[in-house]
């Protein structure tokens, strides 16, 4: 007997923009039924960063089992899925193409519509999921490995207005490069976060670059750390590593908090939110006690946030998306 089609219209989300192969099943009202993330971090660690070609190949191996696992964990099947949401950009082009091709194939085989989701709007949409969804308007600090943005979010869908961005490195990139200088593993943000708890943040004062407007700059900070590290004999570097991590982290957090507060003052925003991988940082979360931080599991790349954003993205009907392309930079 044919399985009766349930009334629940589920969204299957796919995310492959960097080094996480992820799939998730989300309900139209924002409940996460499954959220599977297969990180390739270990694969890239020995290179100190993501190797695009390796990432693409690994996505190709993982995407089908990850989708299957997401459906199994949600105790559902493609029969109950009504729309596929996939990250179309920005990100590593080869990595994105794997997710987009997989999403197209699933959608096409099932005659389903496909929603091409912007990765950054995906991060913002991590705030719209149950059990504690946030409603716009709010000011959003998006700090990840690829971007640092202050966004004026006025509505659930659509493109938010960019109030500020980084003029050089992204905040997560600053964490990763700092970690590398300190001889810590990749990705470095979580490592610095952990080590900083054992250090004295006032032992080293790192400068917070001042750039006009609401923009950020982190490259000077990285250079400042490089100079300190270069001058320290190896044994001393070992004993000062935690202090250096604490001072370095404090400078990044200060820059992020200062600018976010300024943006809130300028726009009169009453609600402030923080999303992206760096939003997982414990010092940042503590430094913005009144802000809504994305749930920890949804800070770093995942597909639940992509499925969430798909709810507010106009889906392309079958089979119009076969011509859909991925894009590497902000559209
Ligand atoms: O959002 P995400 O997973 O990927 C991009 O879209 O870029 O962010 C990854 C970034 C990495 O740079 C990583 O070092 C940073 O988020 N990150 C952290 C923490 N956890 C991840 N940075 C600071 N503290 C953390 N606890
Ligand atoms: Zn991301």
Nearest Cα residue to atom 14 of ligand 1: 189
> Which residue shows structure tokens 């190896």?
234
Task: Quote the CA–CA distance of 81 and 112 in Å, as a whole number.
Answer: 8
- Ligand 1 geometric centre to CA of 208 (Å): 20
Which ligand has its closest atom nearest to the C-alpha of 284?
1
* Atom in ligand 1 nearest the alpha carbon of residue 282: 26
300 pLDDT more than 80: yes
Supply the pLDDT for residue 7.
53
Mean pLDDT of 80-101: 98
The overall average pLDDT reported for the chain is 95
Question: Each residue of 13-64: pLDDT tens digit?
Answer: 999 999 999 999 999 999 999 999 999 888 998 888 899 999 999 999 999 9
Angle at 233 between CA 228 and CA 234, to 5 degrees: 105
The residue nearest atom 18 of ligand 1, judged by CA position, is: 189
Q: Do 102 and 131 touch, CB atoms closer than 8 A?
A: no
The atom of ligand 1 lying closest to the CA of 123 is 1
pLDDT of residue 5: 46
Query: Residue 116: beta bridge partners?
Result: 86
Instruction: Convert the pLDDT of each residue in 145-192 to its tens digit.
Output: 999 999 999 999 989 999 999 999 999 999 999 999 999 988 899 999
Is residue 327 reached through a cis peptide bond, with omega within 30 degrees of 0 on the bond before it? no
Global pTM value = 0.96
Find, among 103, 151, 142, 100, the residue nearest to 328 by Cα.
Answer: 100
Residue 173 CA, closest ligand 1 atom number: 12
Q: Which residues are near ligand 1 (CB < 6 Å)?
A: 18, 144-146, 172, 175-176, 187-190, 193, 276-278, 280-281, 300-301
pLDDT of 328 higher than 50 = yes
- Distance of CA 172 from the midpoint of ligand 2 (Å): 10
Using CA atoms, how far apart are residues 13 and 24, in angstroms rounded to an integer?
Answer: 5
Helix residue ranges per DSSP H, 111-181: 119-125, 171-181
- Closest ligand to C-alpha of residue 145 is 1
């Amino acid at each position: 007997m044919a399985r009766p089609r349930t009334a629940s219209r589920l969204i299957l989300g796919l995310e492959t923009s960097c080094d996480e192969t992820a799939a998730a099943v989300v309900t139209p009202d924002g409940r996460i039924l499954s959220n599977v993330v297969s990180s390739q971090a270990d694969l890239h660690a020995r290179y100190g960063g993501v190797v695009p070609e390796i990432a693409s190949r690994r996505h190709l191996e993982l995407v089908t089992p990850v989708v299957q696992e997401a459906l199994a964990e949600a105790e559902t099947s493609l029969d109950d899925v009504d729309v596929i949401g996939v990250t179309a950009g920005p990100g590593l082009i080869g990595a994105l193409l794997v997710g987009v091709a997989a999403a197209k194939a699933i959608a096409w085989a099932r005659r389903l519509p496909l929603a091409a989701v912007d990765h950054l709007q995906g991060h913002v949409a991590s705030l719209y999921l149950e059990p504690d969804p946030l409603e716009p308007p709010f000011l959003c600090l998006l700090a990840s490995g690829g971007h640092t943005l202050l966004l004026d979010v006025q509505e659930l869908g659509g493109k938010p207005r960019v109030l500020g961005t980084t003029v050089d490195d992204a905040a997560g990139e600053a964490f990763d490069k700092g970690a590398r200088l300190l001889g810590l593993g990749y990705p470095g943000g979580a490592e610095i976060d952990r080590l900083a708890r054992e250090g004295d943040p006032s032992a080293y004062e790192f400068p917070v670059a001042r750039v006009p407007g609401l923009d950020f700059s982190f490259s000077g900070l990285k250079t400042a750390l490089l100079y300190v590290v270069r001058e320290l004999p190896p044994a001393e570097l070992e004993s000062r590593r935690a202090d250096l991590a604490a001072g370095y982290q404090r400078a990044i957090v200060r820059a992020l908090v200062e600018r976010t507060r300024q943006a809130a003052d300028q726009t009169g925003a009453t609600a402030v939110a923080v999303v992206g991988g760096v939003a997982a940082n414990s010092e940042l979360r503590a430094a913005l006690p009144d802000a809504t931080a994305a749930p920890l599991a949804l800070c770093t790349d995942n597909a639940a946030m992509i499925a969430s954003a798909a709810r507010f993205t106009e889906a392309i009907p079958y089979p119009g998306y076969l011509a859909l392309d991925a894009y590497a930079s902000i559209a």
